[in-house]
Amino acid sequence: MDILQKEGLESIVANGEPFDPYIHEAISTTNTDDHPNNTVLEELQRGYMFRDKVIRASKVRVSQSKIKPALPTKRELEKKKKELEEKKKQLKEKKRKKFKEKEHEKMEKKKLHKEKFKKLGKKEKETPKKKSEKKAIEKFEERKESSKREEIKIKKPKKKEDFTKKKPKKFSDLKNHESKKLKKKHKQM
């Protein structure tokens, strides 16, 4: 045993110590008021550790207090539920009131701001939001107009080519051009 202790084997001390599930194995519990809750009363089998690792957990009997907390009755549970519900309702009402107050303050500030500008005869400053809204409206109107223009362009029939306006590029085209001119004049008479 001395040789094993020199190598790092230790016995686990259990009596009177608080119960630790990593080094103790609870075999039974005893109801007592003499000892604090979850303390080792008796060591049934010794446990060992080798270099901070548990080889065998010590088997022990653990104390448990006799007095158990009383479970709440159904009425008590119902009362607690009602109280919680009432608190939730109160919190919601407070949040709603705060929100309404903030909205009301914002509206009052806006009204005061508009009234000041009316008195001074000035226009309101354009906020970036208003500017972007105006730009969007303008773009929309431009698109409408351009789409109307395109519709009009599509509806108009193409004109017949007027050879009098075109100038011939080649000498051979010149003859054709002149003959067509003469034919047109002859038709008009």
Distance CA 85, CA 151 (A): 64
Tokens of 151: 């519709």
pLDDT of residue 44: 93
Tokens of 71: 């479970």
pLDDT of residue 154: 54
CB of 48 closer than 8 Å to CB of 55? yes
pLDDT of residue 103: 86
Q: What is the pTM of this model?
A: 0.35
End-to-end CA distance of the chain: 141
* Intervals of the chain under pLDDT 50: 171
Q: Which residues pair with 54 in a beta bridge?
A: 49
In tens, the pLDDT along 31-61 reads 888 888 889 999 999 999 998 899 999 999 9
Which amino acid, one-letter code, is at 79?
A: K
> Where is 133: in which H helix or E strand?
helix 128-155
Task: Tell which residue, 60, 48, 66, 68, has the closest CA to residue 20.
Answer: 60
